[in-house]
Structure formats: C-alpha cells, structure tokens
C-alpha cells in the first residue's frame, strides 16, 4: 500500500492536487474537509456539529474527526493505498492514523507538503469564495484564523514526519499542472 499525506496550509491546493494524484496512482482519496461538507449538506448530526467549528475557521475536535476518519478507512477492502487530504491536522490525529494503518499492516509512506506563501493563500481563498459558497472562504478574519491555527496546531506535523524521514516539500506556486508534475516527481522518487 502507498499511503500519502498531502499537507499544506488552507488553500495550498491539497484538494486540487489530490484529485489528479488519485487518478494517476489509483489511490483512495480521503478528504476530511469534503466529508464534513457532505455531512453539512445532508444536515446530519455530524454535519451540524462540524459546521459550528468550520464556519469560524476552527478545527473540528480531534475525537470527532479521528472517529470519522477511522470509519472511512475501514470502508475499503485491500486498496492500493490512500491519499489523506486535510488529515492529520494535529499530532493526536497523526498518532491515531499510525494506529489505524498498523491494524492494516501498513504505514504512511510520505508526507508531501505544498509550500505556498501566505499572501497567495489568501488571494486563492478569496477567489474561491466567489464561486464555492463556502462561509470559511468569504471572511478575512476567518481566513486569518485558519492560517493561524495551521501555524500553531498543524505545522508541528512537519517535525513529526521529518523525524521519521517521511517529509518532502514541493513548491506550490505555478499552474496546477506544474505543481502536479513536481508532486509526481517527488512521489515517483519515493516509490522506486
């Protein structure tokens, strides 16, 4: 199994690039953001809870997110591997992910991190707000909050995976195709 964590700040292009990677490498795509938004759209109990955090740009609590992710992982029987998009976002989530994968006799192969400067992130999210209808993209304070939470709670994962020699950074500026090419180069280097 090839298990990839696609990592980066809000708006770095994780969702965009995951769609392309999953086709090329035939991996299962698990995006916690997409799963939460699906639940919000369908007005489930989980969706109602997640919405109260997401609209403010806060992380959904670990116990909720971890339980949901494990249930998703267990839906698949013998996949080629997973792309985890937007998960883990905290050290506790990363530890939980290691435990789930151990149960499947597997592990994370690599964390691919998209490196994008803050000004570009803000401009992409505001652009997306014009069409996405996402409340968390539409407000400058919420965007800033998401970036701050990323720096404080999510960025420590860089060390978590670096210490296991699993961290690879990819420059996230350029066209979607250019960034995809760099990600594939990084991934192919690891697979060989």
Catalytic-residue membership of 14? yes
Q: Which of 134, 158, 166, 182 is catalytic?
A: 134
Helix (H, G, I), strand (E, B) or coil at 83: strand
C-alpha 118/C-alpha 124 separation (Å) is 10
Task: Point out the catalytic residue in the list 14, 37, 51, 124.
Answer: 14
Binding track, positions 85-104, relative to ligand B4P; x by CB under 6 A: -xx-x---x-----------
Q: Which of 21, 30, 46, 54 binds ligand B4P (CB under 6 A)?
A: 54
Q: Kindly tell me which residue out of 11, 27, 161, 168 binds ligand B4P, with binding defined by CB under 6 A.
A: 11
**Which positions ≥6 away from 188 have C-beta within 8 Å?**
none
Cβ atoms of 50 and 58 within 8 Å: the answer is no
Contact set for ligand B4P, span 27-46 (CB under 6 A): 32-33, 36
DSSP states of 21-44 as a string? HHHHHT-EEEEHHHHHHHHHHTT-
Q: Which of 81, 96, 146, 168 binds ligand B4P (CB under 6 A)?
A: 146
- Fill in the per-residue mask, 121 to 140: x = in contact with ligand B4P (CB under 6 A), - = not in contact: ---x--xx-------x----
Measured between alpha carbons, how far is 88 from 97 in angstroms, rounded to an integer?
7
| Beta carbon of residue 192, minimum distance to ligand B4P (angstroms, whole number) | 26
What residues act catalytically? 14, 89, 128, 134, 146
């Amino acid at each position: 199994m090839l298990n990839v964590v696609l990592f980066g700040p809000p708006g770095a292009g994780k969702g965009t690039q995951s769609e392309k990677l999953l086709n090329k490498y035939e991996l299962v795509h698990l995006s916690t953001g997409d799963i939460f938004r699906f639940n919000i759209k369908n007005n489930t109990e989980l969706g109602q809870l997640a919405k109260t955090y997401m609209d403010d740009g806060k992380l959904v609590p670990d116990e909720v997110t971890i339980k949901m992710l494990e249930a998703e992982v267990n839906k698949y029987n013998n996949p080629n591997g997973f792309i985890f998009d937007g998960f883990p976002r905290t050290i506790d989530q990363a530890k939980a992910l290691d435990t789930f994968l151990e149960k499947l006799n597997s592990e994370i192969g690599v964390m691919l991190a998209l490196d994008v400067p803050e000004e570009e992130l803000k401009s992409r999210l505001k652009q997306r707000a014009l069409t996405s209808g996402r409340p968390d993209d539409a407000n400058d304070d919420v965007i800033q909050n998401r970036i701050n939470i990323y720096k404080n709670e999510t960025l420590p994962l860089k060390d978590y995976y670096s210490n296991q020699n699993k961290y690879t950074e990819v420059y996230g500026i350029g066209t979607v195709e250019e960034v995809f090419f760099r990600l594939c180069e990084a991934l192919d280097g690891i697979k060989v």
